[in-house]
Amino acid sequence: MSSKTTPDGTTLGLLALIVTQAACSAFFLYDAVADIIADGMAAFNDVLLHVEMVATLSMILAVILEGRFLVRLLRRNAHAERGLSIASGALHDLMEQYFHEWGLTPSEADVATFAIKGLDIAEIAEVRGTAEGTVKTHLNAIYRKSGTSGRGALLGLLVDDLLAQPLIERKEPPKDMPKASGLA
């Protein structure tokens, strides 16, 4: 639960890639802008400038996509429990999907994960370094956005979905997810 654990190779590799590409694209961007400032519109007659700009823009796009992937990876690692069984992996995917569907903020998704895992308000507040009042506010937002009445209903929603399909075929997420009615 603590973020003090040693980061795994994937995270570090991805981080190194992002930093390198960000630094390179910053230089290429600077170079292209300097060319345009120096030569004005005439700079665009140079084919090389166009190639450079396409390369730079696609690298910036790659950095953004990698950044988003890194955020997902960090969240997943922050929530991972020892021994990722099929069940916990499937539950995690399902949770992420619902959180996205409901439009939870990163903080709310974090609180929701802990709530589903059974931590009480004081424990969640401690793990997240926030006040208990803040956690209560997050929980209210979670119940409102998910249309559930409380922690039990929230958990029921997930368990229902999890039991409705075989665990092995968890590659295909449920296409028609109910728009959060207060079932369970």
What is the rounded distance in angstroms from the CA atom of residue 112 to the CA atom of residue 135?
A: 10
The residue from 88, 130, 137, 165 that contacts another protein (CB under 8 A) is 130
Region binding another protein by CB under 8 A among candidate stretches 20-28, 40-48, 88-96, 161-169: 20-28
Among 7, 152, 174, 178, interactor with another protein by CB under 8 A: 7
DSSP character at residue 4: T
Neighbours of 71 (CB within 10 A): 11
Q: Which stretch binds another protein (CB under 8 A): 4-12, 53-61, 142-150, 171-179?
A: 4-12
Stretch that binds another protein, among 26-34, 35-43, 47-55, 57-65 (CB under 8 A): 26-34
Among 10, 50, 54, 106, binds another protein (CB under 8 A): 106
Which of 77, 80, 101 lies closest to 91, judged by CA?
Answer: 80
Q: Which of 168, 177, 114 is nearest to 146 (CA)?
A: 177
Give dist(CA 110, CA 48) in Å, integer. 47
User: What's the closest the beta carbon of residue 134 comes to another protein, in angstroms?
Assistant: 9
38 vs 41, beta carbon nearer another protein: 38
CA distances from 141 to 108, 148, 162, 178, 181 (A): 8, 10, 23, 19, 15
Residue 40 neighbours by CB distance under 10 Å:
9
Residue entry with tokens 């992996």: 89
Q: Is 27 in the site for another protein (CB under 8 A)?
A: yes
Stretch that binds another protein, among 58-66, 93-101, 129-137, 143-151 (CB under 8 A): 129-137
Binding site for another protein (CB under 8 A): 3-7, 11-12, 15, 23, 26-27, 30, 70-72, 74-75, 77-79, 105-110, 125, 127-132
